[in-house]
Structure formats: structure tokens, C-alpha cells
Amino acid sequence: MTVDFVHAQNPRPDNWWKSSVVYQIYPRSFADSNGDGVGDIPGITSKVDYLAQLGVDVVWLSPVYSSPQDDNGYDISDYTDIDQTFGTLEHLDTLIAALHERGMKIVMDLVVNHTSDEHAWFQESRQKDSPKRDWYWWRPARAGHQPGTDGAEPTNWEAAFSGSTWQYDEQSGEYYLHLFSRKQPDLNWENPEVRAAIYEMMNWWVDRGVDGFRMDVINLISKPRELVDGPEIPGRKYSPSFHAVANGPRLHEFLNEMYREVLAGKNLITVGEMPGATVELARLVTDPARRELNMVFTFEHVSLDQVQGGAKWDLQHLPLPVLKDNLNAWQMGLAEVGWNSLYWNNHDQPRAVSRFGDDSAPHRINSAKTLGTVLHMHKGTPYVYQGEEIGMTNASFTTIEHYQDLESVNHYYEAVSLGQQAEDLLLSLAVKSRDNARTPMQWDDTHQAGFTQGIPWLTVNPNYVAINAAAAMADSDSVFAHYQKLIKLRRHHPVVVDGWYRLLLPEHEQIFAFTRTLDSAMLLVVANFSSEPAEVPAGSLPDIDGAELLLATHAPAPGPLRPWESQIHLLRAAQ
Ligand code: TEU
């Protein structure tokens, strides 16, 4: 399966991805070109100049492949075709060329831990005597249990989207494993034929001009040799599966093999999404000498505001020192070996300004700017999620009918059936539902925020009238303008890319301060991560006399830092 596609000169020098900024597009919510209420690829192509103006280097495109859309495309039924929802392969070729012509690159979302149950591979695998039977995880009913009855599942694992991870298949009389929805059966990576088919598909996309891959739950592809019950959790019918499955014994072997078969010698950008990964695992995976991946997405900092050991819906307050400590652990852990990805949000996480900032009118803009400053001045590759650059907020849905995401909807109805109060559930959904990040991009203050001429698949946030890209681009003091400047700083100051990180005032409850040092250049970042004034303890920070103020949310003034005030100082210029 080779294709002859010539693209505009698209150089990929060594380590180019270390100085890049990546912009994530969730295609169904980005821009709708044909009025069907769902974003599509031509809609994205119509916005490439917006992306170029923001200054991002790479676009990470969430899945646009053929899919029944059970999990909004993370359930793929054909890896080498485009879902009609989003357009055609030709539309994608046009987008790739348009990005390359503007010096930008494209990363595809690689979802290969599982396929859709409507993929031809799975449909073949359902035949017990099929040569593809072993392409997925099939198991008989638990011994002593009647197949298809409660408790007959092969293990007690809980699926990420509620219920058991095992679905009984009448046709073949066995259960198949699905760590996510029952329409997302897990591929059996132990089978070399599966791996070969995945690598062939990846090479087909590389030949088509893509510049890398974001790898969905890639640390789940290696499962334990024995599939056995996980620990019983009091009050819960099933045992969380990720802990039982993640980071299996052959993970590094498979990533190494993928490197040899697809990635070697092409300077692609690769980032592995790894729920449950530790910084120690990330050191192994991102150590260039080990030939695995460039970066991983950690879930540690986006799990700190949930009760430890609980579900994402069990909320708890997150003191700033706890957040600083975790980000520091990853900075220190990957300071000399490997590389960090840097993100506050994505299509699975609530909006950054609502979660880590303050989305109330007096503070939304400055907190969005300060979140950007603190993240982009860390060491690593920053990821901007669509709308973050204009300070888009959570959806503020008030009824379950507003929600579309199967994770949220399944959780709600399962919890109600177990006796939880609807109003409590709606409160936690309003804070943590993935739909918070999936409301349509707010382009301007016209009908449906300029996202569609039709009825949007998910309600547009009514605050689009004030919060939209057109207004932001016309305002030199907007969050958009601030993100443009942050991205430019990365281009002009090597210390932003390669400077050593050192956290200051680790215990301070309001102030987030750190330095970056490279040769004779030193940056000082100081931020008030709160909605109250914050006093900087005398003598606690390096002297900024003679420093160059590179970027600030406020005009400097004596006295305490104002709410969500941040500053980036260049203390000593490079010789
Ligand atoms: O997410 C993996 C994952 O761990 C998330 O499901 C996360 O646990 C949850 O969303 C937190 O609320 C990846 C994709 O990013 C996600 O969109 C898919 O639903 C999932 O894998 C299955 O492909």
C-alpha cells in the first residue's frame, strides 16, 4: 500500500519537535464547512491562516478516520479512509499541503489499542475458526458460570466508560475484552500479525505526508500475561482496569519494534498518551537512546484534583504547592534524559481557565494568560488545545440532556441507578465532563459563534458573544495576543527551549515562581496563581534590577502581585 504524494518542502531537522508548539484540533468541534452542525476537514483548512497567525508549528488532529462515532472517532472502523462526517482523503491531502505550505506540520491520532467493533478485522475475528480470531482478546465465561450471566465475565475489570470490560458475543459463545466502550474491542498486540498490520498502516500515513503520531493509550497495548481479577473495591462492582492492565511486560519491546518498523530515520514527532504512567516510566520511554517515543502525556497533574484512589468525579481541592510539586517532579525527572510534553487541557479534560484558573469575569483573561505563561515557560513541548488561546471556558451545562459524551452519560445513569443524587452528579459533570472541552470553537459573535450555519452537534457556549477568536485577534491585549508572544519567545530565546528548570517558593500557596538557566541567560517567571493579591516574600526571588521584562499581564507596579499577575524577566542576556 504505497502512495505517491509530493508535498511542499517540509523539512524535519533533528529534534525540531523540542522547539515546537503543538495545537490540538478536535475536528467535530472546530469548524463546520457544510452546515451539518459537525466540524469537518474543509472547515479546518479554511482556518490554517488563523493557526499560522497564532504561530503554532504543529497541528495534532484528533481522529477523522472511518468510524461509527460511538466515542467520537476513537473507535475506528477503517484506518486508511476518512469518515464521511469529516470529508474525504482528498480533503485531508489538501489540509496536509496547506499546513506544509505554511511551514506547519500535522500529527495524526493513532488509536491502536483498540478498533471499532465495526472494523472488518473484528467482524472476521468473531468467527471462532477465523485466522483473525487471535487478533482480539477472546475468553470463555468464568469457570462455573453460565456464559452471558451476571458474574460470568472472565475478570472483574471495570471499563473506562462504565460496566465490565468484557462483552459476551452470542455468535461465538465467548467474551471479548474492551477497556473502553463495548464498541471498542482491544486488539491483541501479542499477535505479530496485528503489529505488522499496524506498522503497515502507519507507514502508509507517513508516505501520505504526516509528520508524526499522538498515540492513544499506548501503554495499554501490552497486557499482563495472565488476565486475572483486580483488587476488590468496597462499594464498587468492578475493579478499575487501568491499574490491572497498564504498562504490561512487553510495552518497551513493542515500542522499540514500532520504532524500527516505522519511526527510525524520519524525524517524526511522537507522543504517547499514557494513563497511569510515572515519571520513571516516561524516562524510559522518552530516552532517545532507547528508540521508543519522543514524549508522553502524563495524567498525574490532571488527577490531583480528584480523591486519590477515587474516580475522576470524586472532586477535591488542589492546593498550589501540590500542583507545583508534581510539575517539578516531572521537570526534574526528565531534566537530563528524555523530554516533557506540557499541557493543561485537551479533548478529554475540562477547560484550563475553568479548572486551574478563574473563569469569572474579573479574572478570566489574566488567569488564562498566566496559565499560558507558566506552562510555556516550563521545559518541554507545549500543547495548546483549541480555544485555550482565547480563554474558552467550561460549558456550564445544567441538565444531563445537554451532555453527549458516552463517558459522562454512562456514568450519570449508572450512578443514578446506584442511588446517587442527580444534582450531585450534575455538579461533578459540570466540573469534569469531557464535553466541557468539546463545545464548538467560538470564531465570532455571529450565529452559532461562526462554527456552523446549521444546528451544532453540541450546544455552543452562550458566552461566545464576548469570547471569540475574531474579538481576540482584534485586541492586542487578548489571550490570543499573549499566546502569540509566548510562542515567539520560544523562537527567539534558546533558554526557553533548553534552559534548566528550578522551582522557587515551593510551599507558597499563591505564587508560582521558577527560573530557567542556559549558559549566561536566566529567565525568572513569577506568577500569582490566585484571585487575591499575593505578597512576594522579601529577598525570596533573584534580583530583577537591570532585567528585561519580556512579557507581563499587567504594567509593573510596586506592592503585591495583583490577582493572576505574571511576569517573565530575562535576568542576564546570552553572551
Ligand atoms: O483517552 C484515554 C483515557 O484515559 C481517557 O479516556 C481518560 O481516562 C478519560 O477520558 C478521563 O475522563 C483516550 C482518548 O483521548 C479518549 O478521547 C478516548 O475516549 C479513549 O482514549 C479511548 O480511545
Q: Among 115, 181, 217, 347, which residue has the most ligand 1 atoms within 8 Å of its CB, making it the best to mutate?
A: 217
Residue 2, pLDDT > 60, answer: no
**With the C-alpha atoms ordered 462, 529, 435, 433, is the resulting torsion angle positive or negative?**
negative
- Dist. CA 403–CA 441, nearest whole Å: 17
Residue 217 CA to ligand 1 center (angstroms) comes to 7
What residues have CB less than 8 Å from 547, skipping those under 6 apart? 524, 569, 570, 571
Per-residue DSSP letters for 483-518?
A: HHHHHHHHHH-HHHHHPEEEEESTT-SSEEEEEEEE
**Cell numbers of 385, please?**
488545545
Dihedral angle of Cα 39, 481, 273, 437, to the nearest 10 degrees: -50
| Residue-level pLDDT at 445 | 98
What residues have CB less than 8 Å from 562, skipping those under 6 apart? 366, 528, 533, 554
Tell me: the pLDDT tens digits for 300-351?
999 999 998 788 999 999 999 999 999 999 999 999 999 999 999 999 999 9
Give the strand pairing for 521-528 and 566-572. Answer: antiparallel
CA distance readout (Å), 154 to 146, 168, 240:
11, 10, 15
What residues have CB less than 8 Å from 508, skipping those under 6 apart? 320, 321, 534, 537
Ligand 1: list residues with CB < 6 Å.
Answer: 71, 74, 111, 160, 180, 216-217, 273, 275, 312, 347-348, 407, 434
Q: Treating both helix axes as pointing N-terminal to C-terminal, what angle do 406-417 and 422-432 enclose, rounded to 10 degrees?
A: 160
Helix (H, G, I), strand (E, B) or coil at 270: strand
**With the C-alpha atoms ordered 218, 222, 228, 232, is the resulting torsion angle positive or negative?**
negative
| Residue-level pLDDT at 575 | 63
Confidence of residue 8 (pLDDT cuts 50, 70, 90): very low
Residue 245 CA to ligand 1 center (angstroms) comes to 15
Active site residues: 216, 273
- Atom number, ligand 1, closest to the C-alpha of residue 75: 23
DSSP at 459: P
| Residue-level pLDDT at 1 | 38
Q: Treating both helix axes as pointing N-terminal to C-terminal, what angle do 364-376 and 479-492 enclose, rounded to 10 degrees?
A: 20
Instruction: Output the residue whose Cα is nearest ligand 1's atom 12.
Output: 348
Instruction: Output the residue whose Cα is nearest ligand 1's atom 23.
Output: 74
Dihedral angle of Cα 424, 430, 434, 439, to the nearest 10 degrees: 150
Residue 184 CA to ligand 1 center (angstroms) comes to 12
Residue 348 CA to ligand 1 center (angstroms) comes to 6
Residue 424, pLDDT > 90, answer: yes
Mean pLDDT over the full length of the chain = 96
Residue 193 CA to ligand 1 center (angstroms) comes to 26
| Residue-level pLDDT at 7 | 42
Instruction: Output the residue whose Cα is nearest ligand 1's atom 17.
Output: 348
Residue 572 CA to ligand 1 center (angstroms) comes to 43
Residue 189 CA to ligand 1 center (angstroms) comes to 19
Instruction: Output the residue whose Cα is nearest ligand 1's atom 6.
Output: 160
Instruction: Output the residue whose Cα is nearest ligand 1's atom 10.
Output: 348
Tell which residue, 10, 50, 55, has the closest CA to residue 376.
55
Residues 531, 555: contact at Cβ < 8 Å? no
Confidence of residue 6 (pLDDT cuts 50, 70, 90): very low
Tell me: the pLDDT tens digits for 440-457?
999 999 999 999 999 999
Tell me: the pLDDT tens digits for 460-491?
999 999 999 999 999 999 999 999 999 999 99
Q: Among 24, 214, 216, which residue has the most ligand 1 atoms within 8 Å of its CB, making it the best to mutate?
A: 216
- Atom number, ligand 1, closest to the C-alpha of residue 242: 4
User: What average pLDDT does this structure show over 543-553?
Assistant: 96
Tell me: the pLDDT tens digits for 250-296?
999 999 999 999 999 999 999 999 999 999 999 999 999 999 999 99
Where do the domains of the chain lie, and which CATH numbers do they carry?
16-113+194-395+441-482 (3.20.20.80), 120-177 (3.90.400.10), 500-572 (2.60.40.1180)
Instruction: Output the residue whose Cα is nearest ligand 1's atom 2.
Output: 217
- Atom number, ligand 1, closest to the C-alpha of residue 275: 4
- Atom number, ligand 1, closest to the C-alpha of residue 111: 23
Helix (H, G, I), strand (E, B) or coil at 166: strand
Tell me: the pLDDT tens digits for 377-390?
999 999 999 999 99
| Residue-level pLDDT at 3 | 34
| Residue-level pLDDT at 240 | 86
Confidence of residue 9 (pLDDT cuts 50, 70, 90): low
Residue 391 CA to ligand 1 center (angstroms) comes to 23
Give the strand pairing for 239-240 and 269-273. Answer: unpaired
Q: Treating both helix axes as pointing N-terminal to C-terminal, what angle do 320-333 and 279-286 enclose, rounded to 10 degrees?
A: 30
Residues 248, 223: contact at Cβ < 8 Å? yes
- Atom number, ligand 1, closest to the C-alpha of residue 347: 17
Q: Phi-psi category of 209—alpha, beta or left, where left has phi over 0 and alpha has psi -120 to 50?
A: left
Residue 574, pLDDT > 60, answer: no
Per-residue DSSP letters for 531-544?
A: SS-BPPPTT-S---
Least confident of 4-18, 417-431, 495-509: 4-18
**What burial letters (b/e) apply to 270-296, b meaning 16+ CB within 10 Å?**
bbbbbbbbebebbbbbbbeebebbbbb
- Atom number, ligand 1, closest to the C-alpha of residue 348: 10
**With the C-alpha atoms ordered 143, 145, 147, 151, is the resulting torsion angle positive or negative?**
negative
Q: Among 74, 76, 345, which residue has the most ligand 1 atoms within 8 Å of its CB, making it the best to mutate?
A: 74
| Residue-level pLDDT at 256 | 98
Instruction: Output the residue whose Cα is nearest ligand 1's atom 5.
Output: 348
Tabulate helix, strand, coil % of the chain (nearest 5): 30, 15, 50
pTM of the model: 0.97
- Dist. CA 262–CA 24, nearest whole Å: 23
Percent of the chain residues topping a pLDDT of 70: 98
DSSP at 262: I
- Atom number, ligand 1, closest to the C-alpha of residue 432: 12
DSSP at 24: E
Confidence of residue 572 (pLDDT cuts 50, 70, 90): confident
Q: Among 25, 184, 302, 348, which residue has the most ligand 1 atoms within 8 Å of its CB, making it the best to mutate?
A: 348
CA Rg value for the chain = 24
Residue 510, pLDDT > 80, answer: yes
- Dist. CA 193–CA 203, nearest whole Å: 15
Residue 5, pLDDT > 90, answer: no
Task: Please calculate the CA angle 254-259-260 and round it to the nearest 5 degrees.
Answer: 100
- Dist. CA 136–CA 14, nearest whole Å: 37
User: What average pLDDT does this structure show over 212-223?
Assistant: 98
Residue 106, pLDDT > 90, answer: yes
Residue 198, pLDDT > 80, answer: yes
Residue 285 CA to ligand 1 center (angstroms) comes to 20
User: What average pLDDT does this structure show over 227-236?
Assistant: 89
